[in-house]
Structure 1
Amino acid sequence: MTRVVVDASVVVKWLLPQREDEADVEQALRLIEGLRSGRVRVFQPVHWLAETAAVLVRLSPETAAADVADLYTMDLPIENGPNVYLTACELARSLNHHVFDTLYHAVALTLPDTVLITADVRYERAARQRGSIMLLSDLSFL
């Protein structure tokens, strides 16, 4: 089983694949199919649903409430121990990124054999030397 963390940039593609400006939708849909089939296990930081809801309300206000309800029912495991927060704070400081971005990566770094999958090219470039991160566009293992 593949163990991943997915940030809001990926989750939004699950819900709004028809948006013209959404790249790498095929990879995102392959990822959620892996989750549904049991080949992929997704772990998330505590704020993932709130951040995704904020993006959905902005991009698709008419479907945001139903989309958030669907995400909530997925009941994804939440990782929020002290090591996650300490790692996120160190990443935020050293990479000069917001803690909301680094919390996803911190979950991947603190769980064994887990990788953050993101569509956020700017964050991935800054953080790749830390490991446990990959761009959605590079997803080829599913």
Structure 2
Amino acid sequence: MVFNRRLPDEADIPIALDILTALRDDKIKVLQPVHWLAEVAAVITRLRPEQAENVISLLHAMELPVCNDSVVLNVACRLAKTYNHHLFDTLYHAVALSQDNATLVTADLTYLNKVQEEGKIIPLSDFK
């Protein structure tokens, strides 16, 4: 499973918390693109600057595995070009596409609607 950094709507927060619980309980595995923590840090610092350092420290301590390979970067470039979308967003999807048993779980419905035909992507609201 791959998560993108877009913050969920309030209605999706219980699902996002369920995902964190499943991760903690080893019911799911995650694999992130190499840039994920820096991107989350940028978003948290912009939206909640007073909490940024604590949140980033907690996320870093989770030691989530990352995928850093040229095939993923090439797929992300193709997705960005094909769908006219930001490369940092397509990297999350490229990680899912590069793994046999991975799916991108996203709250970004704009991106999902653009690329759904590529597969391996579901909205956060559909996560079970």
| TM norm structure 1 | 0.87
Distance 2:26 2:12 in 1: 22
> What percent identity do the matched residue pairs reach?
46
How many residues of Structure 1 are paired with residues of Structure 2 in the alignment?
Answer: 128
Q: Who is 1:23 aligned against?
A: 11
Q: What is the CA-CA distance between 1:23 and the residue it aligns to? A: 3.2
Structure 2 residue ranges without an equivalent (≥5) = none
Q: Which moved more, 1:74-83 or 1:100-109?
A: 74-83
- SS where residue 10 of structure 2 aligns? coil
Distance 1:112 1:128 in 2: 17
Distance 2:74 2:48 in 1: 34
Distance 1:57 1:132 in 2: 30
Distance 1:113 1:124 in 2: 19
Distance 2:54 2:109 in 1: 28
Structure 1 residue ranges without an equivalent (≥5) = 14-20
Q: Who is 1:137 aligned against?
A: 125
Within 5 Å, give how 1:54-93 maps onto structure 2. 54-93=42-81
Q: What is the CA-CA distance between 1:22 and the residue it aligns to? A: 2.9
Q: What is the CA-CA distance between 1:80 and the residue it aligns to? A: 1.1
More strand by share: 1
Within 5 Å, give how 1:113-132 maps onto structure 2. 113-132=101-120
Q: Who is 2:4 aligned against?
A: 7
Alignment partner of 1:96 out of 84, 92, 98: 84
- The one-letter amino acid paired with 2:85 is H
Over aligned residues, Cα RMSD in angstroms? Answer: 1.0
| TM norm structure 2 | 0.96
| Residues 14-51 of structure 1: per-residue CA shift (max 9 Å, x gap) | xxxxxxx6330011000010000000101000110011
- SS where residue 53 of structure 1 aligns? helix
